[in-house]
Copies of this chain bind each other. A is one copy, B any other.
Amino acid sequence: MSEKVLIIGAVALGPKVACRLRRINPDIDITMIDRDSLISYGGCGIPYYVGGDVQELEGLYSTIAHVKRDVSFFRNIKGFNVLTRVEALEIKRSEKKVVVRYLDEDRVGELDYDKLIIATGATPMRPPFQGSDLPKVHVVSNLHHASAIKTAISNGEVERAVVIGAGAIGIEMAEALTDLWGVETTIVEMADQVLPQALSKDMARIVEKQLEDKGVKLLLSQKVIKINGDMENGAESVEVIDQSIQNVKQSDSTGKAILTDQSVQLIQNTLPCDMVIIAAGVRPNSELALGAGLAIGRNRGILVNKRMQTTDPNIYAGGDCAEVTNLVSGLDCVMPLGSLANRQGRIIATNINGGNEQFAGSVGTFCIKVFDIGVAKAGLTFNQAKDAGFDPVYAVVAQSDRAHFIPDADFMFMKLIADRKTRTVLGVEAAGPQGDAVKARVDAVAPLLKFGVDVSEICNLEVSYSPPYASAMDIVNNAGNALDNTLNGNLKAIDTFEFVELLQQGKIKVLDVRSHVQSAPFVEKYPKQWINIPQDELRERYVELTAVLNELKESPLYLICGTGPRSYEAQVFLNSKGITNTRNVQGGYGMILAIHQPLV
């Protein structure tokens, strides 16, 4: 008798395991179950269904040849059985059986297995504030959610929406609501930046500015305390507390009694709305595994070895319900991504069939489109690197994403992070209007991260070159060079947003090495702070800085140009003349414009 393979969950990893397994083994007995009736869908496509790129819900569970991926598709084309509306209740490991409930028949039964795959996915979190279960409050996970959201919007029921959470799904949903439907959308995020898991704070500001430029209202450092409304009318408004103001209050007062009636007036805010979307992360569906005594990790995901086996070698797990080792930090994490699930699924199928493929882990690649820009990252952000025990150092560069004379050339911004002591590259982040070009740079660095390479590998990274697609000295190489210069102590930098804050507080003096024409409006607007000596005059005129330097005493002189290289060149020149207390504005005025309104 042929071996019985049972798969719990039929969305991403489950179908991949089953299809691959059938292809490499025509005889093995495969059954896949799912508690839902709609299966094998692209959950990551939901924002594009709401936003109109996918017209019909079927588009999310159809093949590229427009065939629906349903029970008969898997039976007739892929050659295995799927049972829908069947929920797994318990795994009896000693008997190699799974207790299931047939939801439409309200009966319980048992299914045998020789090999079991847990592909139960993850569930969107509903934070425990009041009102999170009201009508008109949605999460974004399965196709029923997708359909409910789109129906409400297309029926004209939604003029104002609040999205809770500024992770990828929250941002994608906000874009969908705003871009196609003109819904007045507010994103509320507890952290002081968007995409806190994916981006360092400065790179996140590029996304924040893009959202604001496109009319999405962004409330950062704000915590939802409740959703107002009732069961009849559904959600009517969202109450938030501004944690950043609260912090200011705390330092101003004795540090106690923050929520007096008076201060609540100041820091609490009510956001009226017709729809709430909760996009506050997901929780791995590991209860079944936990109940069966399988090991569960610190993020509540199922623990698996490199062969994707749980602590029971006959039971495999993968996708959103399992933990993944971050190959840079060494820490386990959850990575709810369809791409990962597909790659893991292939490995599980190979191994069940007697092969020995390994999934070592992930370097955390990520990308997202946000209206007119693309953003990507791999490895650790600055804060993640710190949390993992590294001493992170970084460089930020701004550069044309192709030869500057190519008509559609535009700015790209890149951040590269390494460990100070070992010079090991830890992470890379990039953003710019040409999303594919942004992805190209990050995906070129990503494969190296698990090898723990020195920064010089990025200086010399051999990315393909032709003027329509890159500069001769590509931004990725220049990011490596800037980080190398920083680690060597030649480049002393300041982030643009710190610089803008200091400038606007009137605290600092700036040497602008751009041309007279370019710097004139700045000199006029900041007469006591902004000095201009163009780069080609600096070797002759640097002595003019003596008075300024005397006035500055211990404070640094801030150097700026269009994107950073000319002011860096000024920095090393001034350094050679004994003027060593300078800071180069990383990414220059180009980076400022990406994160801030124009300074003049």
For residue A535, which residues in chain B have a CB less than 8 angstroms away from its CB?
77
Query: Nearest-CB distance from A269 to chain B (Å)?
Result: 31
Whether A225 sits at the interface, judged by CB under 8 Å, is: no
Of B78, B363, B435, B562, which contacts A65 at CB under 8 A? B562
Chain B residues closer than 8 Å to A339, beta-carbon distance:
462-463, 465, 470, 472-474, 477
A407→B179 CA distance, assembly (Å): 15
Q: Which residues of B contact A48 (CB under 8 A)?
A: 403, 405-406, 467
Q: Which residue of B lies closest to A66 (CB)?
A: B515
Q: How far apart sit A65 and B446, CA to CA, in the bound complex (Å)?
A: 32
Is A459 close to B, CB under 8 A? yes
Q: Is B342's CB under 8 angstroms from A374's CB?
A: no
In the complex, what residue of chain B is closest to A355 when comparing beta carbons?
A: B488
Interface set, chain A 429-453, CB cutoff 8 A to B: 434-437, 439-448, 451
Chain A positions 342-372 with a Cβ under 8 Å from a chain B Cβ: 342-343, 346-347, 357, 359, 362-363, 365-369
Q: Is the CB of A464 within 8 A of B378?
A: yes
Are the CB atoms of B403 and A42 closer together than 8 Å?
yes
A339 to B535, CA, bound (A): 25
Report the minimum CB–CB distance from A138 to chain B (whole Å). Answer: 20
Beta-carbon contact of A573 and B465 below 8 Å: no
Q: Is A576 an interface residue (CB 8 A)?
A: yes
Alpha-carbon distance A27/B78, docked complex (angstroms): 72
CA distance A195 to B369 in the complex (A): 34
Residues of B close to A114: CB separation below 8 A: none
Cβ-defined contact, A347 with B460, below 8 A: yes
Min Cβ gap A192→B in Å is: 24
| Contact A464 to B45, CB < 8 A, known contacts A400-B64, A439-B440, A536-B76 | no
A44 at the interface (CB under 8 A from B): yes
Task: Give the Cβ gap from A460 to chain B, nearest Cβ, in Å.
Answer: 5
| Distance of A437 Cα from B437 Cα, bound (Å) | 7
- Name the B residues within 8 Å of A367 (CB-CB): 464-466, 469-470
- What B residues does A374 contact at CB under 8 A? 468-469
Number of A interface residues in the complex (CB < 8 A):
101
A-B contact pairs, 11 of them (CB 8 A): A44-B467, A48-B406, A65-B562, A67-B536, A73-B536, A79-B573, A339-B462, A339-B472, A346-B459, A367-B469, A440-B440
A26 near B466 with CB under 8 A, answer: no
Whether a CB of chain B sits under 8 angstroms from the CB of A599 is no
Question: Given A23-B490, A45-B403, is A338 in contact with B465 using a C-beta cutoff of 8 Å?
Answer: yes
- Report the minimal beta-carbon distance from A157 to chain B, rounded to whole angstroms: 25
Q: Does A282 contact B (CB under 8 A)?
A: no
Q: Measured between C-beta atoms, what is the minimum distance from A360 to chain B in Å?
A: 8
B405 touches A472 (CB 8 A): no
Is A472 a contact partner of B573 (Cβ separation < 8 A)? no
Residues on the B chain within 8 Å of A362, using CB: 462
A442 to B439, CA, bound (A): 12
> In the complex the two chains form, is A472's CB within 8 Å of B439's CB?
no
Q: How far is the CB of A247 from chain B (nearest CB, A)?
A: 33
Are B462 and A446 in contact, CB atoms less than 8 angstroms apart? yes
Minimum-distance CB pairs A-B, first 6:
A26-B576, A436-B436, A339-B465, A440-B440, A338-B472, A367-B464
Interface: A168 (CB within 8 A): yes
Q: Are A464 and B443 in contact, with the CB atoms below 8 A?
A: yes
With an 8 A cutoff between CB atoms, is A569 at the interface?
Answer: yes
Contact A469–B24 (Cβ < 8 Å)? no
Q: A539 on the interface (CB 8 Å rule)?
A: yes
What chain B residues lie within 8 Å of A575 (beta carbons)? Answer: 26
**Alpha-carbon gap, A474 to B339, bound state (A):** 8
A64 to B562, CA, bound (A): 10
A1-42 toward B: CB 8 Å interface, digit per residue (1/0)? 000000000001000100000011011000000000000001
